[in-house]
Amino acid sequence: MSLPTNAIIDNKENLNGIFAVLVDLINAPAVLCGVDGSIRKMNTAAAKNLGFPASRLDIRQTAENNQADTSLSVLVQRISTIFEKTLRGTAVNQTAYRFENAKIKQSAFTFYAVPVQKDSVTTAVLITWTKKSGPLARVRREEPGYFRTIETLAAIVAHELRNPLGVIRTALYNVRRKNKQGNLQKHLDNIEKKIEESERIINNLLAYSRIKKPVMKKIHLYNFLTECITTFGVQHCSSGIKIKTELSGLSDVHFTLDPFQIREVLTNVLDNACGALQNKAGEIIIKGEQVPPDMIVLSVSDNGEGIDSFDLDEVFLPFFTRKSKGTGLGLTISRELINLHGGTIGISSQKGQGTSVRITLPNGKLSA
């Protein structure tokens, strides 16, 4: 006699049992993890892919014990991260990761994660993934199938928005000239503020679609950085945010870089720092030093809300953002520009305590 469906899934044990059976029916590698991190079920493809059986394993503990720079350890850590994200309610659907370290730069994984729920309570997490092998380009412009599509889309959107925005700005100017009602001023100021925010989004989209090789110039580094920081503070930071600089070590340094591109990087990083402070009272500290033989190191630190550890490895992805405003392109553009200079950019953060961005730049060669 067959049982009705609601009887089969009457409790979480039966529900998890159904998904355990489902794991064996999936052709791709798949694991079913309990909310405590234990691996309840692993199919043959997953066991072969990971290289260990499911019995008495904890996905969190396994990730902690596999810190070496190997294909297995990176894969296990990624599965652990996706498990934690799914428990926290973050949707993981067709999330692709390219492993670009020396040993596994030929591998690309796409993950799918489904929370197993009973009465809106997660009782387990089903994770499956696919692997694609082959040469993976490290430079964005050598990946026409993905990034060039994004570039084209960004350029089209920016172009289509710029024209109507110009019309709105002109109309606002005319209204201001003819306005004789003081109670409208606040609303007009708000419109202008929104126009400026929209223009910054458009500029980011255009910058992403038009990244070019640096045009190197020799500059007085201290004066350049001071001017960039001061200009940003006046235009973008609220009065409650203090910006402090420790750049005296660069007072006599002349350096070769593309001033337009590095200004763009600093603006993006400082804008994120201000956003992390949520325009409330807080502090941003910018430090700079020269490192032998011929390199500079810049750091921008804030005491804002910080970044969730699960998001740290995604902050440089195009369009990734947790903010209600913006494009999620600022750090993507910044990393690309720093890479073009032969430098590095990295982020460290602790939730609730703040974030620090570290940039290294080698002294460039003057453009011909």
Task: Read off the CATH number of the domain in which 43 is found.
Answer: 3.30.450.20
Do 9 and 125 fall into the same domain?
yes
In a domain, 272, yes or no: yes
Which of 189, 209, 229 is a domain's end point? 209
Residues 37 and 115 in one domain: yes
Q: What is the pLDDT of residues 251-297, one digit of tens each?
A: 999 999 999 999 999 999 998 998 888 756 789 999 999 998 899 99
When pLDDT is cut at 50, 70 and 90, the band that residue 53 belongs to is: low
According to DSSP, the β-strands at 121-133 and 30-34 are: antiparallel
Range of the domain at 323: 217-362
**Better pLDDT: 116 or 239:** 116
pLDDT at 101: 45
Give percent above pLDDT 70 in the chain. 70
Q: 221 with 349, same domain?
A: yes
pTM: 0.54
What is the mean predicted confidence (pLDDT) over 204-210? Answer: 68
Q: What is the pLDDT of residue 197?
A: 74
pLDDT per position as a tens digit, 23-52: 777 778 888 888 888 888 888 888 887 776
pLDDT recorded at residue 125: 84
- Residue where a domain terminates, one of 184, 209, 234: 209
Number of domains in the chain: 3
Give the pLDDT of residue 230.
Answer: 92
Rounded mean pLDDT, 349-367 = 90
**Average pLDDT value over all residues in the chain:** 76
- Give the DSSP letter string of 15-56: HHHHHHHHHHH-SS-EEEEETTSBEEEE-HHHHHHHTS--TT
**Same domain for 171 and 229?**
no
Confidence check: pLDDT of 144 > 50: no
Among candidate residues 74, 109, 136, the one where a domain is terminated: 136
Nearest to 59 by CA among 73, 44, 45: 73
Distance, in Å, from the CA atom of 117 to the CA atom of 252, rounded to the nearest integer, reads 62
